[in-house]
Structure 1
Amino acid sequence: MHFKLGEVSTIVISSPEIAKEALKTRDPIFADKPESIAAKIMWYDFKDIAFAAYGDYWRQMRKICIVELLSAKNVRSFGSIRSDEISNLLKSIRSSSGSVIDLTTDIFKLTSSITCRAAYGKVCRDRDALIKLMNESLVFTGGFMLADLFPSSKLLNIMSLNKMKLWRMRRKLDVILDDIIDEHKHNLARIRSNEESENITTTRGNGEFGNEDLVDVLLRQQESGELEFPITNDNIKAIIYDMFTAATETSSATIDWVMVELMRNPRVMAKAQSEIRQAFKGGNNNIIIDENQVGKLKYLKLIVKESLRLHPATPLIPRASREDTEINGYFIPAKTKVLVSNFGLGRNPKYFPNPESFRPERFEENGLDFNGSDFEYVPFGAGKRMCPGMTFGLASVEVPLAHMLYHFNWELPKGIKASEMDMIESPGISAPRKQHLHVIATPYI
């Protein structure tokens, strides 16, 4: 479908055949991201990974983040962080046994803490302020500002009230991220001073276990002067804000949607709990489920897949054409905004019979996976711009869910019917559920 968003020519793709053409066959041509004022301001003139233009700088920064944070080996190494934060979550839920809790808020705290500790070496003391800025900036980035729709209008660009608000947000963000960088620099200087006095040459950093975290790595790369594209503090801030927003928002929204669907589908909930409790039979209320065992919970994985079909973490995959091209007989000029509709793909009745129903078993039957090769189903995207944090994100979703379903029985507050739950999404890039999920948790053992 082609339409105009103001002056901006826009293509929406909602069929697997055309999605494959754009995301695989002509992947490099559609490997750019559409520009927006919100992304330009809040992500430091596109110095991050998610919004950076496709090219050598993007490849350089993506490689650093994958090697130092997002590789399968590193994701496994963060297992103790996940276990610690999940334990805190379970204690909090258990202390409110029988009372109504805001599970959405609790899950958000969990995923933000895991991300902060993995990337920054600790829980950010300004986390609440950072979360507020993230939520507001994602709404702006996923929405439509008039100045974005009419880029030729200098008046709209100058007079935009939203643009002024974004710059105020950016100044607040600078204070938080500068504090993280400065504290890392101070600690690294102290560590080096101690190493020199004790004649030790082992590299240590601000990570959980005395190792380097992502900020340490970026600072080391900055000091080395060996990068093809030297990085400043703005580059570092863009990357660490990128990691926080991407990992926190998508993981928490996915867990929240899963729990909402389970509350609406008690058969699926019972089947999932039976699988998990059978697998860890004989455990007690202090059991921490081994992450390697979570990988064997086949039905839980089907549930996550089905939830991502109905509620993809990125409902619209944004791309932009880098040059003139043709797809399916249609001419698409350079700099056209292209949106691949994950929402539409996942609800296509040709590939997903009775698409509005929540039925995890369908993925056992169709064999589809989210590795980017099945274009009927691409919740993490596909091609060169496929989400590099898929492994990190899945671990942050599946492991907490396994614990929550093992340790507690769940029900809605009195007077609330599952069939009447509001399923409307919030505006923004990741479209989490607009209403918070309030539930009552009763310990299983």
Structure 2
Amino acid sequence: MSLKFGSQPVLVVSSAEFAKEISKTHDITFANRSVLISLKKIMYDFKGLLGTPYGVQWRKLRSIFVHELLSSARVKSYNAIMEEEMNLLVGKIKQDCLSSRPVNLTDAFTLLSNDLICRAAFRKKYSETRHGKQFLEGMKKAAGLVFNLTLGEFIPCLGWINWLTGFNAAIDMYVEKVDEILEAVIEEHLTNKGADESKDNFVDILLGIHQGNTPGISIDRTTVKAVISDVLGAGTKTSSTSLEWVMTELIRHPTVMKKLQDEIREIMEGKQHITSHDLQKMQYLKAVIKETFRFHPPVAMYPRAAREYVNVMGYDISPKTEVLINVWAIGRDPSLWQEPEIFMPERFLNSSVDFRGFDFQLIPFGAGRRICPGIEFAAMSLEHTLANLMYKFDWALPDGANGEDLDVTEKHGTTISRKNPLVVFPTKSYF
């Protein structure tokens, strides 16, 4: 579907076949991101991995991300962190269960996702600090600002309206606050440098590159802040949103929940701690997660931008055309999925379709060069969290409500999350 947002040509891609052309066949041609003015301000002039135009600098930044934070070996090394955070989460929920208190899973998942990312990348939590709380609060505001499409964004001569409405002031206020937070994080690491020679965390690695300790690559201080912002912002919201939706759908479909609990409890045989080895045996768990990604992709549309003229499947696409790959629509395409509006994990039990960017009917993390580098970390955290919550607790809605009564209204922003928090009761604890 070809559109015009003001003076900006936009192409909306809603088929798996065309998505494959964009993300694989012509991947290099569409290897840039969109350039929304508000997004450019929030993302440090596109100096981080998520916004940097395709080229030498982008390849260097991605290499840093993958090798120093998100490689398979690195992700496996986070197992101890994962188990510790799961124990903390389970312990808190158990106390709520014993006291018959409801649990706000929306808040719990946000904190969990942020803590996991912070411990993996920075070797410490920030959610309990003043700066960490401010960052999480600011992130919520930014999600709405970025997708609050304004006239000034697409009709430059009307840009003054953004000043009049206060939109630009809100963006500037957010950027100033986040910059203050990230500066504090950097100063903390610079001050503590040398205090612990065994430290090996992402911020120190970035600062080392900034200070010229790595031959062949250099980044300025702004790029360091942009990359840290990418790690904290992108990882926290997408992971917590996916956890929100999978628990929502399980509560709405008690038969699916029971089947998942039976699988997990049979495999565990009464053992207390779920390991990565145990997770590999849980095929229905993996099917539930895939179905959640199909039904509720954390990001509804992945933006690309054409770097040059290209003809795709007979259509002429001009340079700088914005391309929105409509992952949500592809996941509900009746030509690809049987009964697409029904949450049915069984469709994946005897299917080789996966979400790692090779099967274009299921691309919740994108595909091609711009695929999310945190895909393995996200999958691991989802599996660990869901398995623990299903294994160790039974769940119900407040006031005896039925699953079909659960509100599933969406809140649109950088991710498609629930409009209202997911509040539930853990009705029975098994440990």
Q: Same fold (TM over 0.5)?
A: yes
Residue 60 of structure 1 and its aligned partner are, at CA, apart by: 0.7
CA gap 1:227/1:167 in 2 versus in 1, 3 angstroms: farther
CA gap 1:54/1:4 in 2 versus in 1, 3 angstroms: same
Select which of 347, 353, 358 maps to 1:362: 347
Distance 1:111 1:232 in 2: 28
Indicate the residue corresponding to 1:63 in structure 2. 63
Distance 1:385 1:40 in 2: 17
CA gap 1:99/1:364 in 2 versus in 1, 3 angstroms: same
Residues 87-102 of structure 1 correspond to what in structure 2 (within 5 A)?
87-97=87-97, 98-102=100-104
Q: Once the two structures are superposed, what CA deviation does each residue of 1:13-67 show, in whole Å capped at 9, x if it has no partner? A: 1111111111111011111110112221111100111121111111111110110
Most deviating of 307-316 and 96-105: 96-105
AA paired with 2:263?
E
Indicate the residue corresponding to 2:135 in structure 1. 130
Indicate the residue corresponding to 1:327 in structure 2. 312
Select which of 250, 258, 261 maps to 2:238: 250
CA gap 1:154/1:412 in 2 versus in 1, 3 angstroms: closer
Distance 1:164 1:372 in 2: 38
Q: Once the two structures are superposed, what CA deviation does each residue of 1:321-361 show, in whole Å capped at 9, x if it has no partner? A: 11111122221111111001110000011111111111101
Indicate the residue corresponding to 2:338 in structure 1. 353
Distance 2:35 2:12 in 1: 16
Residues 143 and 427, structure 1, Cα contact 8 Å, conserved in 2? no
Residues 146 and 156, structure 1, Cα contact 8 Å, conserved in 2? yes
Indicate the residue corresponding to 2:224 in structure 1. 236
Residues 272 and 405, structure 1, Cα contact 8 Å, conserved in 2? yes
Distance 1:418 1:83 in 2: 30
Select which of 358, 368, 376 maps to 1:383: 368
3-state SS, counterpart of residue 263 of structure 2: helix
3-state SS, counterpart of residue 255 of structure 1: helix
3-state SS, counterpart of residue 17 of structure 2: helix
Residue 425 of structure 1 and its aligned partner are, at CA, apart by: 1.5
TM-score after normalising by structure 1: 0.92
Indicate the residue corresponding to 1:119 in structure 2. 121
Residues 78-93 of structure 1 correspond to what in structure 2 (within 5 A)?
78-93=78-93
- Unaligned runs of at least 5 residues, structure 1: 192-203, 205-209
3-state SS, counterpart of residue 27 of structure 1: coil
Indicate the residue corresponding to 1:195 in structure 2. none
Give the aligned CA root-mean-square deviation in angstroms: 1.5
| 2:423 is the counterpart of 1:443 | no
Q: Once the two structures are superposed, what CA deviation does each residue of 1:246-284 show, in whole Å capped at 9, x if it has no partner? A: 11111111111000000011111011101111111122x
CA gap 1:158/1:412 in 2 versus in 1, 3 angstroms: closer
Distance 1:142 1:53 in 2: 20
3-state SS, counterpart of residue 428 of structure 1: coil
Indicate the residue corresponding to 2:4 in structure 1. 4
Residue 227 of structure 1 and its aligned partner are, at CA, apart by: 5.5
AA paired with 1:100?
P
Indicate the residue corresponding to 1:169 in structure 2. 174
Indicate the residue corresponding to 2:205 in structure 1. 217
CA gap 1:26/1:356 in 2 versus in 1, 3 angstroms: same
Residues 323 and 334, structure 1, Cα contact 8 Å, conserved in 2? yes
Q: Once the two structures are superposed, what CA deviation does each residue of 1:369-427 show, in whole Å capped at 9, x if it has no partner? A: 11211111111111110111100111111101111111000111114332122212211
Residues 38 and 137, structure 1, Cα contact 8 Å, conserved in 2? no
Indicate the residue corresponding to 2:261 in structure 1. 273
Residues 212 and 218, structure 2, Cα contact 8 Å, conserved in 1? no
Residues 276 and 297, structure 1, Cα contact 8 Å, conserved in 2? yes
3-state SS, counterpart of residue 354 of structure 1: coil
Most deviating of 419-428 and 85-94: 419-428
Distance 1:296 1:46 in 2: 41
Distance 1:423 1:55 in 2: 41
Distance 1:394 1:151 in 2: 41
Residue 133 of structure 1 and its aligned partner are, at CA, apart by: 1.1
AA paired with 2:237?
E
CA gap 1:91/1:189 in 2 versus in 1, 3 angstroms: same
Q: How many residues align?
A: 425
Percent sequence identity is 36
Indicate the residue corresponding to 1:194 in structure 2. none
Residues 90 and 389, structure 2, Cα contact 8 Å, conserved in 1? yes
Residues 171-190 of structure 1 correspond to what in structure 2 (within 5 A)?
171-190=176-195
Residue 177 of structure 1 and its aligned partner are, at CA, apart by: 0.7
Residue 112 of structure 1 and its aligned partner are, at CA, apart by: 0.7
TM-score after normalising by structure 2: 0.95
| 2:31 is the counterpart of 1:31 | yes
Residue 158 of structure 1 and its aligned partner are, at CA, apart by: 5.5
Residue 5 of structure 1 and its aligned partner are, at CA, apart by: 1.5
- Unaligned runs of at least 5 residues, structure 2: none
Most deviating of 370-379 and 303-312: 370-379
